[in-house]
């Protein structure tokens, strides 16, 4: 990772967050914008498209074979229940659900009677579920994922020796960003390698120049440096767990 160069520290007035716009006004990014008088825009550089049932059938995965399902995101839950509906498969009441976070677990209320189901969740990663998974080691797990499945989760499940089957139920697709061609932001915040790929897919000749790059996670930072981008703002770091905190710390220096 490249450290911030003092010569690159300039005042920040505008930030592009490469995520969907929050559904409510309760977002730390809005608090950041108000506190420092910033223009903060949201634009997802990638989006998800469901794999049709006809394509899923080609993988010859029998949903009835599984006794448990592992959800790493709300997208995974959405597309699991969508594919079940398209396949006319009635999800059994005894199916067990293992979710990476409580947020994902609570989201299941959209599809099932939460209190009448066996639902387990961790703090944020598959490793957080280690203890509870050990108690259910004999389950046959379905792992709904995208075509760019989270490597950390896959590695953990493989290393732990669980009987699991990845099921690609949705794909990560590059969004059309042509309307941003002539738009400049002081900071662009990235959260996945796929978003970096989208940037260069849309703008092959992109030059960073005075744009500061914020990257969340080591994989995202590596994707930046692989494309010769300078990472000016990195998160998470010790004591700075969120992107908004990292950006604010930078602004405290740049906007003196």
Strands laid side by side in the 231-235 sheet: 39-42, 14-17, 187-190, 212-216, 231-235
First to last CA, the chain: 25
Q: Do residues 41 and 211 make contact, with C-beta atoms less than 8 angstroms apart?
A: no
Q: Identify the three-state secondary structure at position 137.
A: coil
Note down pLDDT in tens along the chain; length 256 residues: 233 445 577 899 999 999 999 988 889 999 999 999 999 999 999 998 999 999 999 999 999 999 999 998 899 999 999 999 999 999 999 999 999 889 999 999 999 988 788 999 877 667 778 888 888 999 999 999 988 766 678 888 898 899 999 999 999 899 999 999 999 999 999 999 999 999 999 999 999 999 999 999 998 999 999 999 999 999 999 999 999 999 999 999 999 8
Distance (Å, whole) CA 243 – CA 105: 24
Helix-, strand-, coil-residue percentages of the chain, each rounded to 5: 40, 25, 40
DSSP string covering 228-239:
T--EEEEESBTT
Q: What pLDDT is recorded for position 156?
A: 86
Distance (Å, whole) CA 234 – CA 246: 7
Q: Considering the entire predicted model, what is its pTM?
A: 0.73
Is beta strand 164-174 parallel, antiparallel or unpaired with respect to 96-99? Answer: unpaired
Q: Do residues 40 and 17 make contact, with C-beta atoms less than 8 angstroms apart?
A: yes
Beta bridge partners of 48: 172
Distance (Å, whole) CA 76 – CA 228: 32
Tokens standing for residue 78 = 């959405």
Q: What pLDDT is recorded for position 1?
A: 29
Maximum pairwise Cα distance, the chain: 61
């Amino acid at each position: 990772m490249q450290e911030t160069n003092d010569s690159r520290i300039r005042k920040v007035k505008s930030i592009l967050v490469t995520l969907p716009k929050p559904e409510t006004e309760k977002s730390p990014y809005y608090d950041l914008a108000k506190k420092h008088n910033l223009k903060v825009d949201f634009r997802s550089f990638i989006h998800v498209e469901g794999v049709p049932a006809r394509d899923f059938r080609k993988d010859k995965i029998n949903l009835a074979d599984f006794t448990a399902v592992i959800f790493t995101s709300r997208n995974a839950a959405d597309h699991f229940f969508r594919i079940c509906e398209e396949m006319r498969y009635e999800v059994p009441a005894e199916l067990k659900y293992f979710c990476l976070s409580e947020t994902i677990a609570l989201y299941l209320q959209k599809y099932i009677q939460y209190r009448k189901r066996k639902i387990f969740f961790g703090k944020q990663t598959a490793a957080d579920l280690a203890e509870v998974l050990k108690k259910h080691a004999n389950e046959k797990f379905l792992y709904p994922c995208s075509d760019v499945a989270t490597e950390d989760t896959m590695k953990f499940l493989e290393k732990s020796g669980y009987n699991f089957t990845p099921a690609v139920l949705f794909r990560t697709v590059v969004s059309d960003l042509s309307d941003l061609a002539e738009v400049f932001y002081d900071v662009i915040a990235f959260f996945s390698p796929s978003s970096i790929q989208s940037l260069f897919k849309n703008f092959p000749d992109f030059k960073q120049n005075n744009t500061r790059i914020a990257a969340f996670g080591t994989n995202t930072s590596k994707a930046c440096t692989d494309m010769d981008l300078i990472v000016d703002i990195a998160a998470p770091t010790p004591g700075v767990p969120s992107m908004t905190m990292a950006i604010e710390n930078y602004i405290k220096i740049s906007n003196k």
